[in-house]
């Protein structure tokens, strides 16, 4: 089947349909500008229809029981695995991801669906003791009802499924709004997978639309009880403010300003490993990753050799057609992003930074750049850079490293490399971030480990038990055995 023909539609209450809006979202291949699809936007009325369908379908889905829900999730996993090549190809075309990135995303998404299936049967309530003789306290875990999911363009399949799969497994219904740049991989493909898995109509709805058409209807609507949003901190704060007006719960996975740190005790082998990890941390998927290492801090004793090896390794990266298996970096997502990244480099150099490597911008292809010598107050050090620009910063001793890393309004992910793993753990615990990896990459995601950030990088967690907290509510029911006594 052609994903960009058959799945480029709204999916509401089990039906594929054309949106009723007055304009189209055009889905482009970011490498060659090819038009992949045109999708007429969904209207506010269709937002209401999707949420009402979800609300109707959800009670029966919750009542179907955990084993039935697990079967559907397991079938969805099987469908996704069977479509691995086709979905990977769609990622290359729609996102400009390389084949390595595409396979990585599909395979990791499958693992998240696999783990989500277990939540259906593994979520337990509690039986707690009471202060009152003869009374027992039962605390039940129940689905929240309907969940709204707003997903990003960079890992649309994975990030969307990180919310959709556990929410469904736990007995909820879901309405998804994928990013406009990735409506098929982030929306249509997921609806297709669950439709083939036999998910009853209404439980998963996909709306391709824009705030210009629907305003805040997706967040303000009275049906959803939880909004799971992944994207920039500026939009995330708006989502939080709108949701707060009706006391909706939010899970916000927002911007990052990741730090990669190389401490002074690295030997020859450790230095090589740190360079490889830093290159991956900064440049995977053209640096368009919230966990990417924007800032690379290196102890001054190691800095000259680290910089030499790092720059040489980055210079060898191949930028070009993501469909070519030899390509390391494909295009950034759109011309606006390419122009913004070029302007960032130009401004940094004008302000006194040194370009150890300065890449060209050709269309949406942005070659990697390595900057050093930035001033301590450079705005580049305190913002998310969603592209292939690396900042190398030397430091003098561990205390200064901690201060520099924490000097950021964000706190999502980071990594520290050292010859002493326990020293790395002690360092990591001093960093104001939700995730920190010792002798690894800043970019990591695991179905069993809590994923989320501190400061402006978000609120709440996903993955593992955190999903249960995000997509269920607790209900306390007490039972008095025998006659109770009352003080009145």
Query: What's the CATH code of the domain at 364?
Result: 3.40.309.10
pLDDT in tens, 300-312: 999 999 999 999 9
- Percent share of the chain, pLDDT over 70: 100
The reply to whether 208 falls in a domain is: yes
* 152 plus 174 within the same structural domain: yes
Residues 225 and 316 in one domain: no
Please give the residue range of the domain that contains residue 207.
Answer: 3-254+457-476
Sign of the alpha-carbon torsion through 99, 105, 107, 110: negative
39 and 152 co-located in one domain = yes
The pLDDT tens digits of the residues spanning 10-48 come to 999 999 999 999 999 999 999 999 999 999 999 999 999
**In this model, does residue 437 exceed pLDDT 80?**
yes
Q: Return d(Cα 214, Cα 198) in angstroms, integer.
A: 30
Q: What is the pLDDT of residues 441-472, one digit of tens each?
A: 999 999 999 999 999 999 999 999 999 999 99
DSSP per residue, 261-272: EE-TT--HHHHH
Whether residue 45 is found in the same domain as residue 164: yes
- 405 and 383 within one domain: yes
* pLDDT at position 317: 98
What's the confidence (pLDDT) of residue 112?
A: 98
Under 8 Å between Cβ of 414 and 437:
yes
- CATH code of the domain covering residue 117: 3.40.605.10
With 90 as the cut, is the pLDDT of residue 288 above it? yes
Spatial distance between the Cα atoms of 58 and 55, rounded to a whole number of angstroms: 5
**Average pLDDT of the residues of the chain:** 97
The per-residue pLDDT for range 365-377, each reduced to its tens digit, is: 999 999 999 999 9
Q: Is the pLDDT of residue 1 over 80?
A: no
**Does one domain contain both 266 and 211?**
no
Residues 70, 111 within the same domain: yes
Regarding whether 461 and 357 lie in a shared domain, the answer is no
pLDDT at 415: 98
Q: State the pLDDT at residue 212.
A: 95
Q: What pLDDT does residue 2 have? A: 87
What region does 300 belong to: left with phi over 0, alpha with psi -120 to 50, or beta?
A: alpha
Q: What is the mean pLDDT of residues 108-123?
A: 95
Name the percent of the chain in helix, strand, coil, to the closest 5.
40, 20, 35
Provide Rg for the chain, Cα atoms. Answer: 24
pLDDT at 123: 83
Q: Which two tokens stand for residue 290?
A: 């919230």
Q: Does residue 487 sit within a domain?
A: no
Residues 173 and 312 in one domain: no
Take residue 385 and report the two structure tokens written for it: 């850079």
Decide: pTM greater than 0.95. yes
Task: Give the contacts of 286 (CB within 8 A, at least 6 positions apart).
Answer: 96, 329, 330, 331, 332, 366, 387, 388
**Residue 26 located in a structural domain:** yes
**Together in a domain, 234 and 211:** yes
Q: pLDDT at position 122, please?
A: 87
Asked if residue 470 and residue 400 are part of one domain, the reply reads no
Instruction: State the total domains in the chain.
Output: 2
Q: Is the pLDDT of residue 484 over 90?
A: no
Average pLDDT over residues 152-180: 98
pLDDT score for 124: 81
């Amino acid at each position: 089947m052609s994903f960009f023909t058959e799945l480029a539609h709204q999916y509401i209450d089990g039906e594929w349909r054309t949106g009723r809006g007055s304009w189209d979202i055009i889905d482009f291949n970011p490498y060659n500008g090819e038009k992949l699809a045109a999708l007429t936007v969904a209207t506010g009325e269709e937002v209401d229809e999707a949420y009402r369908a979800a609300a109707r379908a959800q009670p029966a889905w919750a009542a179907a029981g955990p084993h039935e829900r697990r079967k559907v999730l397991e079938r969805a996993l099987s469908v996704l695995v069977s479509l691995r090549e086709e979905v990977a190809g769609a990622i290359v075309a729609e996102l400009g991801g390389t084949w390595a990135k595409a396979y990585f995303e599909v395979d990791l998404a499958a693992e998240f669906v696999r783990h989500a299936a277990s939540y259906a049967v593994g979520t337990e309530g509690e039986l707690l003791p009471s202060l009152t003789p003869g009374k027992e306290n039962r605390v039940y875990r129940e689905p929240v009802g309907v969940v709204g999911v707003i997903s990003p363009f960079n890992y649309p399949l994975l990030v969307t499924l990180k919310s959709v799969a556990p929410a469904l497994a736990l007995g909820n219904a879901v309405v998804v709004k994928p990013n406009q740049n990735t409506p098929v991989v982030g929306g249509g493909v997921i609806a297709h997978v669950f439709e083939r898995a036999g998910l009853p109509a209404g439980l998963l709805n996909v709306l391709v639309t824009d705030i210009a058409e629907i305003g805040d209807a997706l967040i303000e609507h009275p049906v959803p009880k939880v909004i799971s949003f992944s994207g920039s901190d500026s939009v995330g704060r708006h989502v939080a403010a709108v949701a707060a007006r009706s006391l909706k719960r939010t899970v916000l996975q927002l911007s990052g300003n990741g730090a990669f740190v190389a401490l002074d005790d690295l030997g020859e082998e450790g230095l090589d490993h740190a360079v490889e990890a830093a290159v991956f941390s900064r440049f995977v998927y053209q640096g368009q990753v919230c966990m990417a290492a924007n800032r690379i801090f290196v102890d001054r004793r190691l800095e000259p050799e680290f910089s030499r090896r790092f720059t040489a390794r980055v210079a060898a990266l191949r930028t070009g057609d993501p469909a070519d298996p030899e390509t390391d970096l494909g295009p950034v997502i759109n011309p606006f992003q390419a122009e913004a990244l070029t302007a960032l480099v130009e401004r940094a150099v004008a302000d006194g930074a040194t370009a150890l490597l300065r890449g060209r911008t050709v269309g949406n292809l942005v070659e990697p750049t390595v900057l050093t010598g930035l001033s301590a107050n450079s705005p580049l050090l305190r913002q998310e850079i969603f592209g292939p620009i690396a900042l190398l910063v030397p430091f003098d001793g561990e205390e200064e490293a901690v201060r520099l890393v924490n000097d950021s309004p964000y706190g999502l992910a980071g990594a520290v490399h050292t010859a002493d793993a326990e020293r790395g753990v002690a360092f990591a615990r001093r960093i104001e971030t939700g995730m920190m990896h010792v002798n690894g990459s800043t970019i990591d995601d695991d179905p069993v480990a809590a994923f989320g950030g501190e400061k402006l990088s978000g609120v709440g967690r996903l993955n593992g038990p955190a999903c249960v907290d995000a997509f269920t509510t607790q209900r306390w029911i007490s039972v008095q055995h025998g006659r109770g006594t009352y003080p009145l």
